[in-house]
Structure 1
């Protein structure tokens, strides 16, 4: 499984509250890190430089690889996150449902209760085990506010490229939150104008 798929499954935990925009940015970052790990791309400064013509087995990873800018000046990591991340969480949800990694279940005792998505037990166990062991997945989960049963002394990210990508993901998530706050303030101000003195 890819880092992005495992990240999505971890984010499905009902105890977590992860915004779709935040998750989409982190999923794009996870894809980029997997592409780097597979040798499909390299990072030069803040640019993504395509490598070999690797075709990943995973459909969404294949789409990510196909969408790389292959001519100089290459795409900046931040631009990749925003472009690739658009509605990416919905794409992962659909793919995981299609692959049987997510199932729809009714909550409550009644057969017509509200439906909710749950990860399959094996997928959830695998993602959780990887989250506990792998610093990269833990770092991306932390960026979107997923905390849990992690050791107090988290191992650091040793690879400079990985650290760079995770930092850019964090900056993008913070930028998205700033946009949300600004819109909220503007809406409140607009509502006050219409409400009158």
Structure 2
């Protein structure tokens, strides 16, 4: 199961009605990659630390890149640090990769802007699977989609796995931190504009 790819697909599907912030989606995708790599046995979580395991190929280019990017020396990396480091620009990487493998098409040849997606998923088995997972309120995908702004809120279903709970909590905290940074910048920009105008 590729939760990161499914999350990218449902974000693109929702984009015409719900513009998604690139940073929020990138953080959620980085969290999804951790969970995909746990499932692939490429890493294990020890509390909030990411411990690399076997470096066997996953068959997915971006997940293999993520595996190669894991810190392999103690004290290893925390989930939160991974989200910020790996998440930088990750939404764009997934959108480009989906187009490369033929799962999306770009409308009218215009370059993608994250708030107004210019690419959309094609009808495919991967898209149907991702949409079905979200429609069935699969807890992990639903929680990540909510963190990315694709849905209003998670379903409230409990996740009975400590690693999953750790990752979802870190994603939620990181998205809130990013939103606080955005708000602070807006306040600073407004204050600067007022000074510039002489108020």
TM-score normalised per structure 2:
0.88
Q: Which of these residues, 130, 141, 145, is aligned with residue 137 of structure 1? A: 141
Q: Which residue of 2 aligns with 1:58?
A: 60
SS in 1 for 2:107: strand
Gaps of 5+ in 1: 108-114
Rounded Cα–Cα distance in structure 2 between residues aligned with 1:195 and 1:153: 47
Does the 8 A contact of 2:9 with 2:121 survive in 1? yes
TM-score, L = length of structure 1: 0.89
Which of structures 1 and 2 has the bigger CA Rg? 1
Alignment RMSD, CA only?
2.0
Q: Any idea what SS the aligned residue of 1:121 has?
A: coil
Which residue is equivalent to 2:47?
45
User: Any idea what SS the aligned residue of 1:48 has?
Assistant: strand
Q: Which residue of 2 aligns with 1:181?
A: 183
Instruction: Report what 2:131 is aligned to.
Output: 128
- Confirm or deny: 8 A CA contact 2:21 2:149 kept in the other structure: no
Check 1:153–1:187 CA distance in 2 against 1; reply closer, same or farther (3 A cut): closer
CA contact (8 A) 2:55 2:68 kept: no
1:191 maps to what in 2? Answer: 193
User: What corresponds to 2:95 in structure 1?
Assistant: 93
**1:56 CA drift (Å):** 1.0
Query: Which SS does the other structure have where 1:56 is aligned?
Result: coil
* Residue 71 of structure 1: aligned partner: 73
Provide the residue aligned with 1:146 in structure 2. 150
Relative contact order, higher structure (CA 8 A, sep 6+): 2
Mapped contact 2:8–2:91 kept (Cα < 8 A): yes
Q: What residue ranges of structure 2 are gaps of 5+ in the alignment?
A: 110-116
User: Which whole-Å CA distance do the structure 1 matches of 2:40 and 2:53 have between them?
Assistant: 10
